């Protein structure tokens, strides 16, 4: 069964460093998402992406964050200058259509900012 993959599974970085989290969505899907879950808290929506542009973003997704689909398969989340509070599990998801459709989640990348 096709699945969403994410790399790396874990990343440790120093505060102020840039990180890029990578995702490979399911191949025929058109909508891509990033979510984060701070330890012990709810999952939170960050951004959705369609047709090579952001379709929606939350207030969490400020200028420090950017997303890109650099080629036909990868979908990346960049955090420009990491802060301690960016430490979280980051999930990528994809879906075939925009609304009322199952989103398939990747296994997550656990980011620790020191």
Partner 1 sequence: KNEVEQSPQNLTAQEGEFITINCSYSVGISALHWLQQHPGGGIVSLFMLSSGKKKHGRLIATINIQEKHSSLHITASHPRDSAVYICAVMNNNAGNMLTFGGGTRLMVKP
Per CB under 8 A, residues contacting partner 1 are 31, 33, 35, 37, 42-45, 48, 55-56, 58, 89, 91, 95, 98-105, 107-108, 110
Which residue, 76 or 107, has its beta carbon nearer to partner 1? Answer: 107
Can you name the residues that pair with 66 across neighbouring β-strands? 78
The answer to whether the CB of 14 falls within 8 A of the CB of 79 is no
CB of 52 to partner 1, least distance (A): 16
Which residue, 13 or 107, has its beta carbon nearer to partner 1? Answer: 107
CB of 80 to partner 1, least distance (A): 23
CB of 93 to partner 1, least distance (A): 8
**Hey, is 86 helix, strand or coil?**
helix
Nearest to 2 by CA among 34, 27, 23: 27
Distance CA(11)–CA(9), nearest Å, equals 7
Which residue, 59 or 71, has its beta carbon nearer to partner 1? Answer: 59
CA dist 30 → 34, 46, 82, 100 (Å): 14, 17, 29, 14
Which residue, 55 or 81, has its beta carbon nearer to partner 1? Answer: 55
């Amino acid at each position: 069964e096709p699945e969403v993959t994410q790399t790396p599974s874990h990343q440790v970085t120093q505060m102020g460093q840039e990180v890029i989290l990578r995702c490979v969505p399911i191949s025929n899907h058109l909508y891509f998402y990033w979510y984060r879950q701070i330890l012990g808290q709810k999952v939170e929506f960050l951004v959705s992406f369609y047709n090579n542009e952001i379709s929606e973003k939350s207030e969490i997704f400020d200028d420090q964050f950017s997303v890109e689909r650099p080629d036909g398969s990868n979908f990346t989340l960049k955090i420009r200058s990491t802060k301690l509070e960016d430490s979280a599990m980051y999930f990528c998801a994809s879906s075939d259509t925009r609304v009322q459709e199952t989103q398939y989640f990747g296994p997550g990348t656990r980011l620790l900012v020191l």
